[in-house]
Chains A and B, each alone.
Chain A
C-alpha cells in the first residue's frame, strides 16, 4: 500500500515547471491564435455563411420576381386576347350592319324598279287594249259595211230582209 502511494504521488502532484510552461504556452496560444488564426478564420466562415444566406435570399427574391413577371405576362396576354375578341366582335357587327344596309337598299331599289316596270307594263297593256279596241271597232265597221253592201246589193235580197224584219215585228 505504501509503495503504491509512493508510485502514485508523483502522478497526482503537479510539477511547478510544467504548470509554469503550460500557463505561458497557453496564454501565448490564446493571444497568437486569437489574433492571427481564429479572428480571420471565424470572420471568413461568418462572411461566407452570410454570403450564402444572402445568395439564397436573392435567389428566392428572383424566383418571386420571375413569378410576378410570368403573372404579368399572363395578364397582358389575357388583355390582348380580350382586346382582340372585342375588335373581332366589333368588326363582325360592322360587317353585318353594312351587309344589312346594302341588302335593304338593294331591296328598295329592286322594289322601286319592279313597281315602275309593273306600271309601265300596265300602261302599255292599256294602250294596247285601247288600240286593239279601236282596230276591232274599225274592222267591225268595215265588216258591217261590207256585209251591208253585199246584203243590199240586189232588190230581192232587200225584200227578203224587209220581210224577215217584218216577220219579227208581226209577232208583236
Chain B
C-alpha cells in the first residue's frame, strides 16, 4: 500500500513538472486562454487588476471572519453573514447582521468591516467586537458536538452497565479517555492526577475536534487562532499556579543557587512562570496556522503559475501535507494536554518527583 502511494506521489510530481515544462514551451495562446478562463471563473474583481492577490487570499483563509465563506468572489460569492455583537462605550450593546457591510464594501453607521475586526470611524467611540464570527460558530458547534458525543457515551455506560463490552462511539473514545487518564495525567501529575483528569480530557478533545474540523474544507482555523490558544494557555497558567505547593514557590522565590545570584534568578524564575504557557500558546497557534498556510500556498500555486497544468503538483503536495496535518492535529492536541499536565505535575509534585518531571518538561520544550 505505502509503495503504491509513494509511486502515485512521485508520478504526480513528475507529471506535474513535465506538463509545466511543456506548457512553458508551448505557444502563448493556450496559456492566455487558461489565464482568461481563470479570470472569468473564480476571480471577478481581482481580474481587473490582472492577478489574484494570493497573500491576501491566504491570510483571509487563515484569519477569522464575520462571514462564513463557502466559494466564489464578488457577485458570485456564496457566504453566510454571521451575527455581529458590538459593545460601544457610547451606544452600549448592538446586534446586527454582517450583511450590512456588504462584504466590507459599505460602512454601517460609524462602523467599518476590516476583517477580522469591526472598527469605528468615530475616534471618541471605543468598541469591543464580540461578534459571533466564523471561529465562534465553529467553537459553538464543536462544543455542542463534544457535549453530544460524550454525554451519549456516558449514557451508554449507564444503560449497558460496566460489565458489557463498549460499542460504537464508546469503543472509539474509551481508549483515548484512558490514554489521557493514564499516560498523560497519571504519568505526569502522579497521585493527585484524578482531580485534573476531567479538565485535561476537555482540553484534549476540544483541541482535537477543532484541529480536525479545521482541516475539513469550509472549516474554520480556530485552533490556529491566537485568541483561542491564549485562553487555553491562560487556563494552564492559572491551574499551574493555583495548585503550586510550597516546593514550587520555594523553587521560584528561593532558588537553589548562591544568594548573590538571587537578583538574576528570581526575575528569571518569575518570567519562567509565564514563558511556559506562552510557549504552549505559540506552539499550537503556529503549528495549525502553518499547516493551513502551506495548504493554501500549494493550492495557490495554480493561480500563481496561472496554469491548470501545475495542479497535479499542487494536489499531490496538498495530499501529502493533509496527511501530515492529520498527524499534527492529533499530536498537537496530545502535546498541549501533555505539557499542561506536566506543568501542573511539576507545580504540585512532592520534592523527589519534581526533578524528574521538570527534566522531562525541558526535554520536550
Question: Which residues on A are within 8 Å of B, measured CB to CB?
Answer: 7, 10-23, 25-26, 28-30, 32-34, 36-42, 44-45, 47-48, 51
Determine, out of B30-38, B220-228, B355-363, the stretch whose residues face the partner at the interface: B220-228
Asked if B198 contacts A15 (CB within 8 A), the reply is: no
Q: Shortest 9 CB-CB distances between A and B: which pairs?
A: A37-B150, A14-B227, A44-B157, A18-B227, A38-B198, A40-B154, A48-B162, A22-B231, A34-B198
Say yes or no: A15 contacts B227, CB within 8 Å. Answer: yes
- Is A42 a contact of B177 with CB atoms below 8 Å? yes
A-facing mask of B141-175, CB < 8 A → 1, else 0? 00100110011011001100011000000000010
Given contacts A18-B136, A21-B136, A25-B140, contact A39 B198 (CB under 8 A): yes
Contact yes or no, B163 A48, CB < 8 A: yes
Find chain B residues with CB under 8 A from A18 CB: 64, 133, 135-136, 139, 225, 227-228
Q: Which chain B residues lie closer than 8 Å to A36 at the CB level? A: 147, 150-151, 154
Return the chain B residue nearest A8 by Cβ: B59
Q: Which residues of B contact A13 (CB under 8 A)?
A: 226
Bound together, the chains give a CA A38 to CA B149 distance in angstroms of: 11
Majority SS at the chain B contact face: helix
For chain B, residues 194 to 233, give those with C-beta under 8 angstroms from any C-beta of chain A: 197-199, 201-202, 206, 225-228, 230-232
Q: Is B235 close to A, CB under 8 A?
A: yes
A7–B198 CB distance below 8 A: no
B128 within 8 A of A: yes
Residue numbers in A under 8 Å from B174 (CB-CB) = 45
Chain B residues numbered 304-337 whose CB sits less than 8 Å from any CB in chain A: none
Is the Cβ of A32 less than 8 Å from the Cβ of B128?
Answer: no
Contact assessment for B227 and A44 in the assembled complex, using a CB-CB cutoff below 8 Å: no
Contact present for B130 and A37 (CB under 8 Å): no
Tell me the nearest residue of chain A to B63, going by C-beta.
Answer: A10
The closest CB in chain B to the CB of A18 belongs to B227
Q: In the complex, what's the smallest C-beta–C-beta distance from A114 to chain B, in angstroms?
A: 93
B267 beta carbon closer than 8 Å to chain A: no
B window 41-92: CB within 8 A of A: 55-56, 59, 62-64, 85
Report if A17-B133 is in contact (Cβ < 8 Å); known contacts: A10-B117, A41-B154.
yes
| Residues on the B chain within 8 Å of A10, using CB | 59, 63, 116-117
Contact in complex: B197, A38 (CB < 8 Å) = yes
Closest to A19 in B: B227
CB neighbours (8 Å) of A45 from chain B are: 157, 162, 174, 177-178, 181
A33–B202 CB distance below 8 A: yes
